[in-house]
Structure formats: structure tokens, C-alpha cells
Amino acid sequence: DQQVKQNSPSLSVQEGRISILNCDYTNSMFDYFLWYKKYPAEGPTFLISISSIKDKNEDGRFTVFLNKSAKHLSLHIVPSQPGDSAVYFCAASPTSGTYKYIFGTGTRLKVLA
Amino acid sequence: DAGVTQSPTHLIKTRGQHVTLRCSPISGHKSVSWYQQVLGQGPQFIFQYYEKEERGRGNFPDRFSARQFPNYSSELNVNALLLGDSALYLCASSLGANEKLFFGSGTQLSVL
């Protein structure tokens, strides 16, 4: 039972354009969400997070949007750069309990120069 | 500052053997978590330790065990290895039990 879903396994975007990566979750107890980026042969790197009390969080070129009623979050990268090419994972956690993070299956982003 | 370090980086074992993976957290971090990532999937939670106590366990068999030492480093042990245990094993540390994770580069385990 996949509680966090990334339905697009891959995405290609032209350099300078917007990249939008989507993530859906099923557990209404999740209230803290994170995005991680992973390059080959490296561990995931934290990118940006959002708690359920917000619907938007920005950090430079990266913005995460949260729609609690739809149980959906998205990561926007503007403008996209070739160095953004990586696999992106969303992760979710309740703020209480076992503190484990549930990860999606990832979306491979390719930014074309 | 050193990030999360894991050893070894690669390991090849045969079925039925035992393996120990090691992790050193970022200095000052008291929580260590272990995740398994199978090719094409996202990381899957195995264990979390905070202040040397197990705080959470994922849906893994008892062949998987872990511990955290007084210096907050950690070991993951897997007994009676199966082919399906082949995966990237990621260690992550965090300041507290419920804060963002900082991952190491992982140990790639191949079971033949």
C-alpha cells in the first residue's frame, strides 16, 4: 500500500522553463512534507519542506505547494537548470509517532540545455 | 564539517551470510535512521534510534537489527541474507527525533 505516490516516473523540461513535480498522499495524519534530490552514487539531499499549517514555502528557485484537501503537494523549480537533473523524492511524516518518513518512488527530472 | 559517513561503500555477500553496515552521524546529531532503497523505489524506513534507544521500526523481518553507540554512531546488522536484501542501505542523521534527515551516500549491498 503506497501511502505516498509520485505518478510520473520521469519528466523532461527545457532549461529556463518551469519544472513541476507532483506528489499525492493518502494518510490524513501526515502533516510534514519534504522534498529530496538524489544524484547517482550519492545519498538524497534535503531540498525544501512544508508543514501542514502552511500552503506554500519558498526557497530561492524552489517552491513547494500543499493542498491538504486534495492530499497533494507539488514542487516548482523556476528557472530550471541542467544541474537540477536528478531524481526527486517527496516524503511525508506525522509529527508524532515513530517519526519515520514515507518516501514516494521518485521522479527523474531531466533539464535539457 | 563532515557529513554522514557510511562504510563500506560497496559489499558483496552470498546468501545465508551476515553483514554489518556502519554509520557515523553529523557531529551533534543524536538521531540515526536506516533506510533501504531497492532499485526503482523510494527509500523504505527500517529503524530510527534516538539517544541510543530504538524509537521506530519499519516492516522488516527480525533478521534486521541495529544499535546506536554512546558516540551516536550506529550499526545495521542483517542475518541470513537473502537475494532480496540486495539494495542501497542509507543512513541518515538528524538533530532531534523528528527533524529533517541528512543522508549519507549509502552502502550498496549485493547478495549473490
Segment B58-96, tens digit of pLDDT: 999 999 999 999 999 999 999 999 999 999 999 999 887
Q: Quote the CA–CA distance of A65 and B33 in Å, as a whole number.
A: 27
Secondary structure class of A71 (helix, strand, coil): coil
Q: Which residues in chain A land under pLDDT 50?
A: none
Q: Between B31, B100, B105, which is nearest A43 by CB?
A: B105
- Residue A40: asked if its preceding bond is cis (omega within 30°), the reply is no
Q: Quote the CA–CA distance of B2 and B103 in Å, as a whole number.
A: 12
Instruction: Please check whether residue B102 touches A, CB under 8 A.
Output: yes
Inter-chain contacts counted by CB atoms under 8 A, chains A and B:
62
B42 to A43: CB separation less than 8 angstroms, yes or no: no
A101 to B45: CB separation less than 8 angstroms, yes or no: yes
Position B6 confidence tier, pLDDT thresholds 50, 70, 90: very high
Give me the pLDDT at residue A31, please: 87
A98 vs chain B: nearest CA distance in angstroms?
Answer: 5
Secondary structure class of A90 (helix, strand, coil): strand
Taking contacts as CB-CB distances below 8 angstroms, the residues of chain B near A44 are 43, 90, 101, 103
Instruction: Please check whether residue B67 touches A, CB under 8 A.
Output: no
Give me the pLDDT at residue A95, please: 66
Give me the pLDDT at residue B13, please: 97
- Residue B43: asked if its preceding bond is cis (omega within 30°), the reply is no
